[in-house]
Amino acid sequence: MIRRARLILGSTDADRDAAFLRDEFGLAAAEDGARFIVPAAELEVIRADANDASGLCLEVDDVDAFAEQLTAKGVACSPVVALRGRRSVAVTLPSGGLLVVQQVAGSARE
């Protein structure tokens, strides 16, 4: 029986990326500072161009406001785009990696 799912975010600068997720996204870190509990997680299987195309996607109520807040702090973000029927933005982590943030269906400016 599967008890829960864990997603591991590989990073060339794990300490800075963990601090970024804590400080800029407001995620509560576990005692070691490198793990975060994200409530209401789900696993979604989507059609992709290649197998093993997986990654982390965080959801927010208003992706435009979220991107504006991060941009105001000097965080690099892509333009907000519609992707598979969802509004999304790619946020650049301190390591240079990307993290996708999507708007929850049926909320805010959708």
| Model confidence pLDDT, tens digit, residues 28-86 | 887 777 788 777 777 677 676 777 666 778 889 899 999 999 999 999 999 999 877 78
pLDDT at 95 over 80: yes
Enter the pTM of the model: 0.72
**Per the structure block, which two tokens stand in for 85?**
């029927």
63-67 contacts: CB < 8 A, separation 24 or more?
63/87, 63/88, 63/89, 63/101, 63/102, 63/103, 63/108, 63/109, 64/103, 64/108, 64/109, 65/108, 66/101, 67/91, 67/101
Residue 110: predicted pLDDT: 46
pLDDT at 1 over 80: no
Burial 64-87 (b: 16+ CB within 10 A, else e): eebbeebeeeebebeebeeeeebb
What's the CATH fold of domain 14-103?
Answer: 2,3-Dihydroxybiphenyl 1,2-Dioxygenase; domain 1 (3.10.180)
